[in-house]
Amino acid sequence: MDQQIKDLINKEEKRQKELVHLIPSENFVSEEVAMVLGSCLTNKYAEGYPGKRYYQGNEFIDEVESLAIERGKKIFGVEHLNVQPYSGSPANSAIQMALLERGDKICGLKLSAGGHLTHGHPKITFSGKFFESVQYDVEEDGRIDYDKLEQLVLQEKPKMIMAGTTAYPYVLDFKRFGEIADKVGAWLVADVSHIIGLIVGEVHPSPTPYVHLIMSTTHKSLRGPRGAFIGITKKGLEKSKELFGDELEIAKKIDRAVFPGLQGGPHENNIAAMAVCFAEADTQEFKDYAAQIVKNAKILADTLRNNGLKVFGTENHLMVVDVGLERGKEIAIKLEQNGIVVNANTIPHEQGSPFKPSGIRLGTPAMTTRGWKEKEFEELGNRMAKIINSN
């Protein structure tokens, strides 16, 4: 093996084993997922979809991808599933490209309020450059005011609403999102990349009955490989029939947008690892894991709050902590020096900037995978508060 790379892998493995990992978007995959990622499936080109490939030699690859699709449809409760997106950002872009025309109006949560770049962040992203973006915000307590969201939607009449977050520590009301979207006939997309494991684990409400499409990454709280999927719900098929005269037209549009619209050959080793991950998530053990994530997050948030820190959240797996004006990066570095890995993050109504934010973002999925429970997180919270509060 390349000795330099081997040495670096060993160092990274040591870092992952020895430090406390609290970045909410990170987790540890199972040995089986890791094994499949490094399998011979990485050698195969498979442009197209099962049964409709452009290259020969895909007999077994078709079975792999079909298995991932069927397992995913079962646990996510969707009617159609595309497992080829390389990650969440191109998956969101594919949805927007499939269902919108350039200049159409899109509505998403502001980045500074816990939204994602691909939800219409102006000027620098695909969604902000190609579509007219109107964005909703959170209140002082960090929560979405659904009445204000409804007023914005009724006024602006967007063609698509993105219901999803990256740093929102509360339960999302997908039913209310659905009611609001229906009032203006908008497409409703649930980006559940952070909370998909909690949804599958039945500790967060599912968006499936209320939205037209679901997009999610497969790592984070789901503990799978770094990929993504796009799911179409029964409601999405009904809207497709209403708009296009064919309930399956939406599936065709999504599939064409992923390939050949945005991507080339799918990463079939990754898709096989998704299939493994989906099977792992379809167990009582995973439900217990998801429940423990939420218990651990609550005790960590309560402990930090009891130590005088302002904490936004939590009702899910993450929280945002106000550590002082523009001190987020400084505190993140300080914590890492003490063996605790977090990420600097904006807080609601941030007075600093994305480069010098005032908060840090914490999550419990990774250390819950490592077997941590309430006791360990209470001890960690006290330790973190001491570090943060020291000058």
> DSSP letters of 124-158?
TSHHHHHSEEEEE-B-TTS-B-HHHHHHHHHHH--
Q: Are 253 and 112 in contact (CB under 8 A)?
A: no
Question: Of 44, 143, 175, 226, which one is the catalytic site residue?
Answer: 226
pLDDT attached to residue 353:
86
pLDDT over 70, % of the chain: 100
List, as one string, the DSSP characters of 244-305.
HS-TTHHHHHHHHIIIIII-SS--HHHHHHHHHHHHHHSSHHHHHHHHHHHHHHHHHHHHHH
Q: pTM for this one?
A: 0.95
217 has catalytic annotation: yes
Domain that holds residue 7: 3-28+284-389
Indicate which CATH number applies to the domain containing 174.
3.40.640.10
pLDDT over threshold 80, residue 157: yes
Residue 33 lies in a domain: no
Asked if residue 129 and residue 266 are part of one domain, the reply reads yes
Cα-flanking dihedrals φ and ψ of residue 345, to 5°?
Answer: -155, 150
Asked if residue 301 and residue 232 are part of one domain, the reply reads no
Domain finish residue from 281, 311, 333? 281
Q: What residues pair up with 340 in beta bridges, in sequence order? A: 20
pLDDT over threshold 90, residue 128: no
**Count of domains forming the chain:** 2
pLDDT digits (tens, 9 = 90+) for 232-287: 999 999 999 999 999 999 999 999 999 999 999 999 999 999 999 999 999 999 99
Asked if residue 229 and residue 313 are part of one domain, the reply reads no
pLDDT digits (tens, 9 = 90+) for 5-36: 999 999 999 999 999 999 999 999 999 999 99
Asked if residue 109 and residue 24 are part of one domain, the reply reads no
Q: CB within 8 A of 338, min separation 6: which ones?
A: 383, 387
- What DSSP character marks residue 364? -
Question: Of 105, 220, 239, 298, which one is the catalytic site residue?
Answer: 220
249 has catalytic annotation: no
Q: Are 82 and 111 in contact (CB under 8 A)?
A: no
Question: If we measure between CA atoms, which residue out of 199, 244, 236 comes closest to residue 80?
Answer: 236
- What DSSP character marks residue 114? T
47 has catalytic annotation: yes
The mean pLDDT of 114-135, rounded to a whole number, is: 89
- Distance between CA atoms of 231 and 254, rounded to whole angstroms? 9
Asked if residue 83 and residue 207 are part of one domain, the reply reads yes
pLDDT attached to residue 27:
98
Q: From residue 351, how far is each of 271, 322, 327 by CA, in Å?
A: 42, 11, 11
Question: Of 118, 165, 217, 303, which one is the catalytic site residue?
Answer: 217
Asked if residue 295 and residue 200 are part of one domain, the reply reads no
Asked if residue 216 and residue 252 are part of one domain, the reply reads yes
Which band of pLDDT confidence, cut at 50, 70 and 90, is reported for residue 214? very high
Asked if residue 115 and residue 7 are part of one domain, the reply reads no
Asked if residue 109 and residue 9 are part of one domain, the reply reads no
Asked if residue 142 and residue 203 are part of one domain, the reply reads yes
* 233: its two tokens: 């719900």
361 has catalytic annotation: no
List, as one string, the DSSP characters of 207-242.
STTT-SEEEEESSGGG---S-EEEEE-HHHHHHHHH
Domain finish residue from 230, 251, 281? 281
Question: Of 47, 238, 282, 302, which one is the catalytic site residue?
Answer: 47
- Distance between CA atoms of 347 and 312, rounded to whole angstroms? 8
How many CB atoms lie under 10 A from the CB of residue 154? 11
Indicate which CATH number applies to the domain containing 363.
3.90.1150.10
191 has catalytic annotation: yes
Residue 150 lies in a domain: yes
pLDDT attached to residue 388:
97
pLDDT over threshold 90, residue 112: no
Asked if residue 211 and residue 190 are part of one domain, the reply reads yes
31 has catalytic annotation: no
Asked if residue 80 and residue 206 are part of one domain, the reply reads yes
- Distance between CA atoms of 32 and 277, rounded to whole angstroms? 9
- What DSSP character marks residue 77? T
- Distance between CA atoms of 107 and 138, rounded to whole angstroms? 14
Question: Of 26, 44, 45, 157, which one is the catalytic site residue?
Answer: 45
Which band of pLDDT confidence, cut at 50, 70 and 90, is reported for residue 326? very high
Which band of pLDDT confidence, cut at 50, 70 and 90, is reported for residue 126? confident
Domain finish residue from 281, 301, 320? 281
